[in-house]
Structure 1
């Protein structure tokens, strides 16, 4: 994995890499940065990266990955709301969150407050997430698409833990469940704006699978601390 990242680090950051520009010597905080693949890619490109995540296993993998890639990357193993702010407040050029993280928060406003605190003046929050049309509304099976959900429901949904797909069916009974709150784009945009961040970009990205052409798959928001 380290060799693949070194060969093409920008590919690991598609499609939102274009919003970073030249990241050399930029300070980037990746919230819920998981196993550090995106963080290592940014580090290879010259950024000073801090990953925040509460998983000990993710931290261990990320540190080994950074070592194998020959880069330095800081990792703070903590809950987002327990970050030691004295070391990172008002310092980030960019805060990154991406793919399948917002639905773990029952209230977005405290999260956006943390992001605002991390950013320096002129710093930018880059959010890349799954589009709620695909996660809340439509169920796809081959060429068939059905409206099976309610786009506007604020209800929590019980789901399998994300890593269960790697564990096999025999482990299903021993794994816990998670509750997810899937947010509409309007709710996300409003929460960001309410904290005083200026939204510069809202890009909705298409699904490229043959049967899903014309449906949005992901979206990217870029918001600035002015």
Structure 2
């Protein structure tokens, strides 16, 4: 196993129980309300369109709240993730809600070896996924291998411009200080916290991440044999990516408190396999 996989998997394995227990993921709300959808999926309902009956794979599904939301919209969903601890939480939530969702443990690059190639109507990827992958072109090849002809890719993701901003400065300045473009060497982070509210202090703190420019992502998708059908940039993110700089709306979307039009925080991309 490569070093980045070992480090990143240990980080996600340790954080999965804390994420499932956090109010941010609304686990109990999913159990209590059979119509409840995740904030991420609900945000993109106008763009997602009808998924009823579509054979769908959710890549890098984590603890399965977006996966369950797709199921509730009528999709026939398989979730895939490399973290066994995350999938344990996803399976537990599916069982608690009576949702017949299949979960497969695998690195995303190995998805074509563990899933049926060329059989999926929809490949879905949610926020905070691509930054864990060193090669976006290889990821696009995975998407193309899984989709049937005419099948669709749907991704909402953190914008590479957002990932380029250094949010740790103490002077209030939003500075572009991290590489916008994909580079061979990883961005190495050492943090004992996570992006949800929790009192847990974690032991696995080192992660390796990569940024991918928007042009690099689009070009990778096109070169993999898909045609772009949508690309929308959003001035908000479904988590507080820049603490101290943002305000949240009633839907949990965070925007810059001052002049939010300065910074794209997420984007939605759709493409269809030729």
Fold match (TM-score > 0.5): yes
CA distance, structure 2, for counterparts of residue 136 and residue 11 of structure 1: 24
CA distance, structure 2, for counterparts of residue 162 and residue 62 of structure 1: 23
CA contact (8 A) 1:10 1:17 kept: no
How do residues 1-226 of structure 1 correspond to structure 2 at under 5 angstroms? 1=27, 2-3=30-31, 6-9=34-37, 11-83=39-111, 85=113, 87-137=115-165, 139=167, 144-149=172-177, 150-152=179-181, 154=183, 155-160=185-190, 164=194, 166=198, 168-169=200-201, 171=202, 174-207=203-236, 208-211=255-258, 213-214=260-261, 215-226=263-274
Change (3 A) 1:86 1:10: closer
Aligned residue for 1:30, secondary structure, equals strand
CA distance, structure 1, for counterparts of residue 90 and residue 84 of structure 2: 10
Change (3 A) 1:106 1:10: closer
Change (3 A) 1:188 1:161: farther
CA contact (8 A) 2:35 2:72 kept: no
CA distance, structure 2, for counterparts of residue 161 and residue 123 of structure 1: 38
Aligned residue for 2:265, secondary structure, equals strand
CA contact (8 A) 1:164 1:175 kept: no
Instruction: Give 5+ residue unaligned stretches, structure 2.
Output: 1-26, 237-254
Change (3 A) 1:4 1:225: farther
Report the Cα offset of residue 136 of structure 1: 0.6
Change (3 A) 1:153 1:188: closer
CA contact (8 A) 2:192 2:205 kept: no
CA distance, structure 2, for counterparts of residue 147 and residue 28 of structure 1: 38
Deviations 1:129-160 (A, max 9, x none): 11122211464879944324153473521114
Deviations 1:25-61 (A, max 9, x none): 1111000101110111111222110001011111111
Report the Cα offset of residue 76 of structure 1: 0.6
CA contact (8 A) 1:206 1:218 kept: yes
Instruction: Give 5+ residue unaligned stretches, structure 1.
Output: none
Q: Which has the larger strand fraction?
A: 1
Aligned residue for 1:182, secondary structure, equals coil
CA distance, structure 1, for counterparts of residue 157 and residue 171 of structure 2: 24
Instruction: Normalising by structure 1, report the TM-score.
Output: 0.86
Instruction: Normalising by structure 2, report the TM-score.
Output: 0.72
CA contact (8 A) 1:143 1:211 kept: no
CA contact (8 A) 2:106 2:114 kept: no
